[in-house]
């Protein structure tokens, strides 16, 4: 696959903390329109990989391309304007600010002005109608599921080229996760590349086109989700088997 169609690509990525790598030599691609599930046991390096792509953890080596451009993270706060949406494990909401204010912060710079801004918020509220009656409420007073919807809605507002969601189902009832899956799918169908970390593997497989499994920071397996669905042992060996050791 050419780099032009890959909205996200890492080559030989090394990442970690205080100079010690926990992610080693990681090659990863996400194409426009594709949902890639990044799987791995606790501590495998999924969050570190995402945080490094977002520039929140300095990379130790390798390269990262976003929408065909190498990124150096000299200005991590510019990542939204560069087309990256990131729903971190902690969701990163401003709990004192209202739902509406949190949403407005998700708009990219150019979108904050002009009439299209309200239209864009309305469009995203159409995807998450449950947020509409909560617009005036502080984000800290929402339930876990509502907060997750808000975090994803905020990330989608800027129409990111790449949407990364860490632990999508954390703390959510299966029914709510089921309702989020079509949202993730529709973001990809509208042209975004989605990188998804989801502990609940069957849920991830429901929405993913491709699976990348990592173990102790190294890529273990990369395979289409259809192949995984057809051959469950493949992923169970590579992913679930390892989780006992970690």
The binding site for Mg ion (CB under 5 A) comprises 46-47
Hey, is 9 helix, strand or coil? strand
x/- map, 40-69, ligand ATP, by CB under 6 A: x-xxxxxxx---------------------
x/- map, 14-43, ligand ATP, by CB under 6 A: ---x----x-----------------x-xx
Q: How far is the CB of 129 from ligand ATP (least distance, A)?
A: 30
C-alpha count within 13 angstroms, C-beta hemisphere, residue 48: 26
CA distances from 14 to 88, 146, 156, 219 (A): 20, 34, 28, 12
Hey, is 199 helix, strand or coil? coil
**In degrees, to the nearest 5, what angle opens at C-alpha 195 toward C-alphas 192 and 198?**
135
Q: How far is the CB of 162 from Mg ion (least distance, A)?
A: 18
x/- map, 133-172, ligand ATP, by CB under 6 A: ----------------------------------------
Q: How far is the CB of 243 from ligand ATP (least distance, A)?
A: 9
Are 190 and 180 in contact, with CB atoms under 8 Å apart? Answer: no
Task: Choose the contact partner of 245 out of ligand ATP, Mg ion, none; CB within 5 to 8 A by kind.
Answer: none
Q: How far is the CB of 99 from ligand ATP (least distance, A)?
A: 26
DSSP strand pairing (193-196 vs 35-39): parallel
Q: Which residue in 97, 71, 86, 101 sits closest to 10, CA to CA?
A: 71
User: For binding to ligand ATP (CB under 6 A), which residues are involved?
Assistant: 17, 22, 40, 42-48
């Amino acid at each position: 696959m050419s780099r032009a169609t890959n909205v996200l690509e890492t080559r030989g990525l090394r990442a970690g903390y205080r100079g010690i790598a926990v992610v080693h030599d990681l090659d990863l691609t996400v194409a426009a329109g594709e949902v890639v599930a990044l799987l791995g046991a606790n501590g495998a390096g999924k969050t570190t990989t995402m945080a490094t792509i977002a520039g929140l953890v300095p990379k130790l080596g390798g390269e990262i391309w976003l929408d065909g451009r190498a990124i150096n993270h000299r200005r991590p706060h510019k990542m939204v304007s560069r087309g990256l949406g990131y729903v971190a494990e902690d969701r990163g909401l401003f709990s004192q600010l209202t739902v509406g204010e949190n949403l407005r912060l998700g708009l990219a710079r150019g979108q904050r002005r002009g009439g299209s801004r309200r239209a864009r918020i309305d469009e995203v509220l159409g995807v998450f109608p449950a947020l509409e009656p909560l617009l005036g409420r502080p984000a800290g007073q929402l339930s876990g599921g509502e907060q997750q919807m808000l975090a994803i809605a905020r990330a989608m507002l800027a129409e990111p080229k790449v949407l990364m969601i860490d632990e999508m189902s954390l703390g959510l009832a299966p029914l709510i996760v089921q309702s989020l899956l079509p949202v993730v799918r529709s973001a990809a169908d509208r042209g975004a590349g989605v990188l998804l970390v989801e502990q609940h593997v069957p849920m991830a497989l429901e929405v993913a086109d491709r699976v990348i499994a990592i173990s102790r920071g190294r890529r273990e397996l990369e395979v289409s989700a259809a192949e995984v669905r057809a051959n469950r042992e493949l992923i169970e060996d590579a992913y679930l088997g390892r989780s006992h050791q970690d």
